[in-house]
Amino acid sequence: MRSLLPAVLAALLSSLVSVSASAQRLECVPCTYDFGSVITGTSVSSSIQLTNASTQALTILSKSEEGSAFSFGNFPLPVTLESWVSVELPVIFAPTATGYTAATLTLISNTSNPILTIDVAGTGTSTAASPQLKISPAKLNFGSVTVGSNTSLQATLTASNAAVTISSDRSTSSEFAIVGLNLPLTIPAGKSIPVTIQFTPGSSGADPAKVGFISNATDSPTLEPVTGTGTAQSSYSVSLSWSGDATAVGYNVLRGKAAAGPFHQINTALDSTTDYTDATVAAGATYYYVTTAVNAQGEQSSYSNVTEAVIPN
């Protein structure tokens, strides 16, 4: 997919600058995961979040695992990740014998440190074990959100060993809420459900908190660390527009504080038009924007040219 060449609007000074590449780096969250107790002859799946934590695209070339109890889910290779793009790596634990077992998953990429290892473990049991409720990813970061608005992210709840009944949920901060979950709710053993968590900042500043689920699982409450930063509403905004791509079904808009990045996606959903207004800017700040095009297969283009916007004091 070809790069886009955006033309940035706004009653602001804007200019085009070039992007300089930084060292490629592949990161995992979590890099260590314990599946807990699983009955032999059954299986439980979870996911590891892989992120290209650099300003240059990277490609995951191969994968391997130790031992027969652990395997990868559907994750065809090679796969290319653009800058600051994440993907979920499915991992399956299917014990064939009782007892504790551990393994190392290995990913090879074309980065400066090409080998990424992920440690996994689990315990095979011969009889029904106590139910457990797992949540992934290990934490959620909502980034910066304008006070008075909201944004949502998804997590996944998985029942292990036996069915888990969630009776209630809770949050340590009124700015974070679990939405769309009708309780009580039972998750069958080995099954997963998505859950939506919403961040609505009521004031400026960072707010680290935890959301949790009360259930009949032995590890109840199941907690998810969450964080987000509220930003004050501004009288300024940046209006962006760019030339379209015939193969695109939508576009992502990314923003950074330096011309070389890193850039972070600021649209919460794929933008089907070729324009976007960023109303979360702060007076006196300078921002740099790029866009990417996404096709029907979910493939994302490389970055467009970088555009600068200087916000008046």
Could you tell me what percent of the chain has a pLDDT over 70?
Answer: 91
Task: Work out how many domains the chain is built from and give that number.
Answer: 3
pLDDT tens profile 31-47: 999 988 888 888 888 89
Of the pLDDT bands very low, low, confident and very high (cuts 50, 70, 90), residue 22 is: very low
How far apart CA 161 and CA 83 sit, in angstroms, is 38
Within the chain, what is the greatest distance between any pair of CA atoms?
A: 68
CA distances from residue 88 to 47, 57, 79 in whole angstroms, order as listed = 6, 17, 12
Residue 235 is predicted with a pLDDT of: 74
Same domain, 89 and 152: no
**12 in any annotated domain:** yes
184 cis-preceded (ω within 30 degrees of 0) = yes
Same domain, 243 and 265: yes
Mean pLDDT across the chain: 85
Q: Mean per-residue pLDDT for 195-200? A: 93
pLDDT tens profile 147-187: 878 889 989 999 988 889 999 999 999 999 999 888 899 99
Give the type of residue at 157: L
Domain end point (choices 125, 145, 169): 125
Residue 207 is predicted with a pLDDT of: 87
**76 in any annotated domain:** yes
Is the pLDDT at 286 greater than 80, yes or no? yes
Residues 6 or more apart whose CB falls under 8 angstroms from that of 126 comprise 39, 40, 98
Same domain, 71 and 87: yes
Same domain, 205 and 242: no
**pTM of structure:** 0.44
Tell me the Ramachandran region of residue 190: left when phi exceeds 0, alpha when psi lies from -120 to 50, beta otherwise.
Answer: left
DSSP structure string for 196-262? EEEE--SSSEE--EEEEEEESSTTPSEEEEEEEEEE---S--EEEEE---TTEEEEEEEEESSTT--
**192 in any annotated domain:** yes
- Pairing relationship of beta strands 222-231 and 140-146 according to DSSP bridges: parallel
Bridge partners, residue 275, by sequence:
241
**168 in any annotated domain:** yes
**99 in any annotated domain:** yes
Of the pLDDT bands very low, low, confident and very high (cuts 50, 70, 90), residue 305 is: very high
Same domain, 151 and 226: yes
Domain end point (choices 215, 231, 247): 231
Domain end point (choices 214, 231, 248): 231
Same domain, 287 and 275: yes
Q: Mean per-residue pLDDT for 87-92? A: 93
Name residue, tokens 């700040």: 285
Expressed as residue numbers, the domain containing 67 is 26-125
Same domain, 121 and 172: no
Same domain, 138 and 211: yes
Is the pLDDT at 255 greater than 90, yes or no? yes
**286 in any annotated domain:** yes
Same domain, 170 and 202: yes
CATH number, domain containing residue 246: 2.60.40.10
262 cis-preceded (ω within 30 degrees of 0) = yes
Same domain, 150 and 215: yes
**1 in any annotated domain:** no
Same domain, 139 and 101: no
